[in-house]
Structure 1
Amino acid sequence: MKKLLRTLNFCKAFKIFRILRLSVCCLTLSALAAGCSTSLNDMMDSYNSNFESSDNYTKTTAGIAPGEAGFSEEAMLSDKYFTRNDGTLCLYAPPRCSSYQWKITKLEEVTTTGQGGIPITSTIETSISCNLSNGTSMTTRAFSLYVPTSNLEVGTYRLKLTVKDKEGISYEDTCTVIIYFMN
């Protein structure tokens, strides 16, 4: 009989312990939910506020234009841009120019045998045309290249930007665009 009473007391204690543990978990979750007043939409809006939409940016005149103090011809483009074969490359030229011209060429390394059988590697640039997206063209401030519809393959390309300021003075910069394969 004593064993039965001990077993019954243990079962009651175990049930009380489970109820207490469940209560503590519920209170903890309630406190965490009440403490987090930021909704998912608030977090997304906060994150997205760090970026400007491309449509808004092409309309703005912010930035240093050619001929203005602080403008650097060599800083119009970075040295290299990497994008996946399913990615997008969006670049912007300096603002307030009278004309914009983007030109893309395919870079291919060719190895030939020189005098004495020494291999000579040279780079051949081939001018190509590609499809741009979002209403941009080779003569707009924005250069928006959606690779899957651009007709560009995986490889290395040279992108040249030439702009003219309001007085007709030309500035140019080049960069390397590397499109790599991604499943």
Structure 2
Amino acid sequence: MELFLLGVTLLMLGVPGATSPPLDAPSALLPRDVARMAVEDFNQEAEGQAVFRLLKLKHTHKVKFRWGFHFSLNFTIKETHCRKSDNYRIENCRYKTKGPIQDCSAQVSVLNFMPDSPLTSVKCRPLQRGNGRGSRKAQPSAMLQAEERQPQVHVEVYLPSAYSIAALSVAEEEPSRPAARPH
């Protein structure tokens, strides 16, 4: 929540938002689309020339609040053959066969009054691959089935009354006293 408030404050001060693709209606956003926007933000901010693409959306949590939606996402990304220096379209970038995979979490807030500039925070870390003994073939079938299921999506309605009261309240000023006139 502090990250969201910091983002709103920075926006009000004129700090530009993310350069993600424009959004139509925040209520129509799908978690996979929000995850793709988060990956694009990651690609823009990450050092190096590698371009990553969404590999798997693992978990999402969507909260509706008075000014828009907030998404908490967990997903994996994988390096592609595309480079930042290229003029690429992410959907055309093929995964590298042995490209590194990263495990990511993202917080994305899409505000009704600024749907084209979501507030995004993405953190990724390299996914640790096994030493060969923990390969995908050695996993029990129940684990494989769990991995292939669709991600769970949770939706909440959140109306922070303290914030809406604060936003609607205007600090009352003490009426100014007229200056005394010299006689």
Q: TM (normalized to structure 2)?
A: 0.20
